[in-house]
Homo-oligomer: A and B are copies of this chain.
Amino acid sequence: MPQTKELASFIASSRLNDIPRDVIHEAKRSLLNFVGCAVGGSLEAAVETAIRALSPYSGERLAQLLARKEQFDPLYASLINGISGHVYEYDDTTPMNYIHPTPPVASALFAYASANGVSGADFLHAFLMGFETESRIGNAIYPAHYEAGWHITATAGVFGAAAGIGKLLSLSIQETVWAIGLAATQASGLREMFGSMAKSFHAGHAARNGYLSAVLAKSGFTAGEHGLEGPRGFAAVLASQYDLSKITAGLGKDFQIRYNTYKPYPCGIVVHPTIDGCIDLYRDFRPSPESIKSVRVRVAPLVLDLCNKREITQGLDSKYSIYHSAAVGLVRGKAGLQEYSDEAANNSLIRRVRERVTAVADSSITEDQSHIEVELENGQKLSRFVEQSLGNLRKPLTDRQLEDKFRDQATGRLPGTQVDRVIELCWQLDTVQDVRQLIKGTIPNGV
């Protein structure tokens, strides 16, 4: 059976009872992490600007935005939720394909749920269908697709949103095939946009377009039957090399959400091992910023590919800078939201150290590793080799660490009772009667 149809059959016929408990729990972890990111990112300029620009075009305002007082129609709500959830670069990552998987899917589902009312169980199920869809499509085209310059979170994410909304709309197999085709033909998003507002737009764009694909398919709007595997379909056109068997092998057994990871730092994931090592050195030696003569890091080549920004004037730039990230670890011993703010980007001590960092790509270093050598003005040398970075699959954040991350992002945004309530609702999502309870909890003074 062609992959598009086999995937569509799986989505249309899946039942929540068939899904293992550990998979459901990982979905809750992913959603807690995502909701925290949306709360944290909800006041960013990209979000404010999108709300201002799109407001005149909103349809009936049936959907409450996450973590904001405004309502939009559910398609634009998907788009704006996606920007909020991705803008902080603090969202989840599946290391096997570098997708940030939850924002495109969950942004659409929360918008749908707000407008229509959905039980927590149905929400989790739809979320898992979307997650599985985008992850498997991503696996099939990674790494050629990503290396070519596609922002895979957007290009694979649109399928996830289509699958998730399609499940909530109870699309038939044929309708799901069309929804996948419509998603394929809307798949877009260039890595050239990294460092601008357009990057976070990608997650929202994927959510909105995937949602639209499902809505159109439900109405009988047709698409090609072979959106994924056809000779001019998604894989052939958007990847120079691909393996379509990854879309369907082990479907329904090998759930991809088991490979999801959560960032401890709000910046490009590939710089995380370097941050771990720099924080370690800070803890062990507390070198004063003025004492640092040079910092030399050896990292996987992808790090320089993704996070090579040297000219930094604002927080957004700093998220893609191995230089800034090493500097904040050494100067402040942490790399939280404050360390990627405009203030930190322009802080003279951080800048001083940042300018002394050099980075070398070394193909013998994996993407989980980093080698750091600091030379002090007095000639002393400090070094650290990081083997596994915090938050990766072998060293995952615990449920408690995820709660702490949520609290960090929600502090100052939500009253403490709401923070507790949202965490509790996430862990109990499979028994929540209406997901609007959770959405309401994310709105400042919304409960």
Contacts and interface: CB of A to CB of B under 8 A. Distances in A.
Interface stretch (A45-53, A268-276, A340-348): A45-53
Interface in A153-202: 154, 178, 181-182, 184-198, 201-202
A306 to B, nearest CB: 11
Interface stretch (A35-43, A222-230, A419-427, A436-444): A222-230
A219 B53 contact: yes
B220 A49 contact: yes
B184 A187 contact: no
Contacts of A53: 215-216, 218-219, 221
Contacts of A195: 224
A196 B223 CA distance: 5
13 contacts: A52-B219, A53-B219, A56-B60, A57-B75, A181-B198, A182-B198, A185-B198, A185-B202, A186-B188, A190-B233, A192-B227, A195-B224, A198-B223
Contacts of A190: 184-185, 224, 227, 232-234, 237
Contacts of A151: 185
A231 interface: yes
A140 to B, nearest CB: 16
Interface in A225-259: 226-227, 230-234, 236-237
Contacts of A227: 190, 192-193
A224 B59 contact: no
A56 to B, nearest CB: 7
A188 B194 CA distance: 19
Given A57-B73, A192-B231, 15 more contacts: A49-B220, A50-B221, A52-B219, A53-B221, A56-B59, A57-B59, A59-B59, A182-B198, A185-B192, A185-B193, A185-B198, A186-B188, A197-B222, A198-B221, A201-B216
A204 B386 CA distance: 50
Copy count, this protein chain: 2
A383 interface: no
Contacts of A216: 49-50, 53, 201
Contacts of A224: 190, 192-196, 198
How extensive is the interface on chain A, given as a class?
35 or more
Contact of A221 (B49, B56, B60, B182): B49
A85 B236 CA distance: 28
Residue in A57, A73, A195, A233 with the greatest tally of chain B CB atoms within 10 Å? A57
Contacts of A185: 151, 154, 188-190, 192-193, 198, 201-202, 205
Nearest to A158: B188
A149 interface: yes
A329 to B, nearest CB: 27
A150 interface: yes
A342 to B, nearest CB: 15
A222 B205 contact: no
A98 to B, nearest CB: 14
A96 interface: no
A294 interface: no
B189 A219 contact: no
A19 interface: no
Interface string A126-159: 0000000000000000000000111100100000
A73 B49 contact: no
Contacts of A366: none
A219 B59 CA distance: 19
Residue in A60, A148, A197, A227 with the greatest tally of chain B CB atoms within 10 Å? A197
Nearest to A211: B57
A119 interface: no
Contacts of A50: 216, 221
Contacts of A232: 149, 190-192
Contacts of A148: 237
